[in-house]
Structure 1
């Protein structure tokens, strides 16, 4: 399945569902209220959000349309569960890394290993880097290694599920430039973003045609 670009809130909703499945399994699947609280959580979140329940509900509807989220019946309160691993076709280790990047923003491999602890326990940093590199080599790529900031000991990684390199610009500016490999990676990421955006627009157009009872042009 080819994923379209996610909005920042869609990515946050999806990541919170994955996180809470592991950290508070007794409350999973999640109600709309608890999911909204998780999205607006002040700790372990970058950026901090202030989404309403209606906004979260709209994000859930979009994610359900992509088969990334399911609505669970059989309860007085509607609950939701994620289908991230299967929908994105990634292993559990990659799911944990992408989830942590969606929740906390760009991080080094060492930071990711520490912050992923409750989702997946990586044996060492090299195993984290291995899965990150696999995500970066996918077509389209799902992760990108950012240029090392001036004075930084390690480069940070960012996810590409929202179609842009989050916080890449400050890191590049601090580094005083971009080497050729980083430039190529960013160009590929931009091409993937544009291709996904085109597919999204096509899908929206087809939906409008269908709703209006129009045939194919």
Structure 2
């Protein structure tokens, strides 16, 4: 799919289908109306959209032609749809999560990608995010691009290229919710590192005590 290019609506439709297949599998496959509601959410979306069911239906038809979605053969009276992003683009689960986070939220820093991709089974750490981004960027048809750091930005941002060359408009304004998500992820990392360090110290103390016992050394008063 080296010549793949989607409209903004098609990218949004595809991304929300992947998102909902993971976060609310009980409501998947999805009807066009359900896709529309998800695409028009006012949170976790940039840019905000107000799509009609007709626009979503047209997008689904276009995506079907590119084999990125398919009609669910077990649908009842109302047609339902499945997404095929991972299969068609040969993505691993963490890499798909990174891609979808960018498709839903616009250009993001590595820390933001990690925080927002977490619910989509994304990479476990920043190194995993960077590896996924490198995989996407190194393809014959690059799927992501690193944007130049703008004045006042603390870190560079990445954007997907499915809708063409990214621009400054793809950068979502910083939100309190996004900042909290990044901070929560950083706090969780700190707790995990502290716990691992404590376990390591305890292990070393036990080994030292065993060594002293074998050598017949009396335990020190501080032990």
TM-score (norm 2): 0.73
5+ residue gaps, structure 2: 173-223
Matches for 1:43-58 after TM superposition, within 5 Å:
43-58=43-58
Who is 2:99 aligned against? 98
What is the root-mean-square deviation of aligned Cα atoms in Å?
A: 1.7
Q: Does 1:33 align with 2:33?
A: yes
Q: Residues 126-158 of structure 1, C-alpha deviation per residue, up to 9 Å, x if partnerless?
A: 110111012111111000011112232210000
Q: Residues 168-208 of structure 1, C-alpha deviation per residue, up to 9 Å, x if partnerless?
A: 7989xxxxxxxxxxxxxxxxxxxxxxxxxxxxxxxxxxxxx
Q: How many pairs does the alignment contain?
A: 171
After the TM superposition, list the runs of 4 or more consecutive aligned residues in structure 1 that deviate by more than 3 angstroms. Answer: 168-171
Who is 1:131 aligned against? 132
1:107 partner SS: coil
Cα 1:78–1:55, aligned 2, differ >3 Å: closer, same or farther? same
In 2, the alpha carbon distance for the partners of 1:170 and 1:37 equals 23
Cα 1:54–1:44, aligned 2, differ >3 Å: closer, same or farther? same
Contact 2:107–2:170 under 8 Å retained in 1? no
Matches for 1:172-191 after TM superposition, within 5 Å:
none
TM-score (norm 1): 0.75
Who is 1:140 aligned against? 141
In 2, the alpha carbon distance for the partners of 1:95 and 1:16 equals 12
Structure ID, larger Rg: 2
Cα 1:54–1:169, aligned 2, differ >3 Å: closer, same or farther? closer
